[in-house]
Chain A
């Protein structure tokens, strides 16, 4: 398995990376390379130029910044899973990072690379949507912030424009009492999500569900919010029966993927079951 020939550069600064990206029209930006190198070896991707971001300092960090958890694009899944701030304030994100592939992949793969690649079965997309995250990109015309709901535009497709590089991902810090969880059914061989569900839930003073955001990955061409199920759950008592009843509506209006592992009917069932598990896990 040998990739097609390409030229390689590992620029020391983001500006230099952006310049190279402008100059080489068929260049691909490489973060950890855990998806890209695999696709290049299979010749699914044959970029003529690789711009490796590894030498650019200050793109790997997890910090609290203006009410959000700011994650540098080059932060590895392993670093994110281990970050105390994330584990404490946004368990769903730590759980998603921890559930990716295996240790060898988590030590190298990055959140920026994963979100730019937009694999329909990747884990972060569900969390990004459920948390109302923001993807920060830098391009020839400066910095742009793309809300989660506008990021995923199709199968392996995002709002990232030509010449732009993902530099940061922001997750608003959840107010006290708002809880989150991510659960998935792992493909037994690849480790990708057959279905993954992220839930962010807040109970009101009356003990009922005041607010809930629920998003799925692995089930369709890209991650999606299950708004009908959210609507059905709002105002309900947070009982297992009520959660399961609301989840009947989770696959509503979604064109579900079919493959050898799961046909559309089974995926719809997985969406209902894992949606309920995510909400119940968030409620603890």
Chain B
């Protein structure tokens, strides 16, 4: 089937089989490998993207379900070489170890800060509870989100 979706602002289409996930569409057909393929069960959040503005696991959404809808991925966050403040904060806080979970965490953190620019720690933990870091680097990930929240409070986006 042909699936057509607006991905990072641009209408794209690809021919996929019915069982293809949105994640496969992005990674294998549209050249967007930022969203990572890990558990494939909606447990780990490594494939987190926005579908019509809502955070979802791209592995648990069929490509067909995204037809005629708006998808935004981690690739949309940086403006050229200029990283998004959340990405910058992850680098500065040392919130990246092996890096595999990082795109999902960054997307989930951006999603949180869009909804709540000044989250407390419990809110950050709840918002990131759908993302797993098997290096267990959670403390620095929390540092990064706090840092990003501070930085973003002081500047227009």
Judge whether B103 is part of the interface by a CB distance below 8 angstroms: no
Among B18, B40, B61, point to the contact of A5 (Cβ < 8 A): B18
Tell me whether A8 is interfacial, beta carbon within 8 Å.
yes
Closest chain B CB from A25 CB (angstroms): 18
Tell me whether B19 and A104 are in contact (CB under 8 A).
no
By size class, the interface of chain B is: 20 to 34
User: B40 touching A41 by the CB < 8 A rule?
Assistant: yes
Of B40, B60, B108, B129, most buried by chain A (CB within 10 Å of CB) is: B60
Contacts of A260 in B (CB 8 A): none
Determine if B64 and A105 form an interchain contact, defined as CB atoms under 8 angstroms apart. Answer: no
CA distance A50 to B111 in the complex (A): 31
Q: Mark A240-263, 1 if CB is under 8 A from B, else 0.
A: 000000000000000000000000
Additional 4 contacts, C-beta under 8 A, given A101-B42, A104-B55, A105-B130: A5-B17, A103-B126, A104-B56, A105-B57
User: B54 touches which one: A4, A34, A52, A107 (CB < 8 A)?
Assistant: A107
* CB 8 Å contact bits of A89-106 with B (1 = contact, 0 = none): 000000000000111110
Task: Name B55's contact: one of A5, A107, A189, A190 (CB within 8 Å).
Answer: A107
Binary flags per residue of B32-62, CB closer than 8 Å to A gives 1, else 0: 0000000011110100100100111100111
Report the interface size class on chain A: 20 to 34
Binding site for B on A (CB under 8 A): 1-8, 10, 33-34, 37-38, 40-42, 50, 52, 54, 78, 101-105, 107-108, 189-191
B: residues with CB less than 8 A from A are 1, 17-19, 21, 40-43, 45, 48, 51, 54-57, 60-62, 64-65, 67, 108, 111, 126-127, 129-131
Does B65 lie within 8 Å of A34, measured CB to CB? no
- Determine the distance from Cα of A108 to Cα of B54 in the docked complex, in whole angstroms: 9
A-B contact pairs, 28 of them (CB 8 A): A1-B40, A1-B41, A2-B19, A3-B19, A5-B18, A10-B64, A33-B60, A33-B61, A37-B21, A37-B60, A37-B62, A38-B41, A38-B42, A40-B19, A50-B18, A50-B62, A101-B42, A101-B130, A103-B126, A104-B56, A104-B57, A105-B42, A107-B55, A107-B56, A108-B51, A108-B54, A108-B56, A108-B60
